[in-house]
Amino acid sequence: MPTEFFVKIPPSVQKSMRKIPFPWIERIRMTIDSISIEPFQGEKMLGRYKHARKVRVWPYRIIYVVDKVNKVVSLIEVDHRGSMSYD
């Protein structure tokens, strides 16, 4: 049985998630739950977020960082893919 990772959601990400409409927020929450079980499912990123991973939950993206040693997944951003601030 895989070990679960703790998912850390900073206040800025919580605030942006409150603006997401119901049908998508449920899918995003389910995806975050799956990330806690399998954090390396996301695609590796390039550029300034080269240390991060992303998962698409159309039309949104979840960007996160995995700390293998402490078993923590830290969300960096959850937002509509058209308004993401990464390179």
Nearest to 3 by CA among 74, 75, 71: 71
Report the pLDDT value the prediction gives residue 84, as an integer from 0 to 100. 56
Which of the 8 DSSP states describes residue 17? Answer: H
Report the pLDDT value the prediction gives residue 86, as an integer from 0 to 100. 53
Which of the 8 DSSP states describes residue 20? Answer: S
- pTM to 2 decimals? 0.88
Report the pLDDT value the prediction gives residue 3, as an integer from 0 to 100. 75
Please give the domain boundaries of the chain with CATH numbers for all domains: 6-80 (3.30.2310.20)
Please give the C-alpha separations between residue 35 and each of 8, 39, 59, 80, 83, in angstroms, as whole numbers.
11, 4, 18, 19, 22
Model confidence at 20, pLDDT cuts 50, 70, 90, reads very high
Report the pLDDT value the prediction gives residue 87, as an integer from 0 to 100. 46
Residue 53 three-state SS: strand
**pLDDT tens, residue by residue, 65-84:** 999 999 999 999 999 877 65
Residue with tokens 């997401």: 20
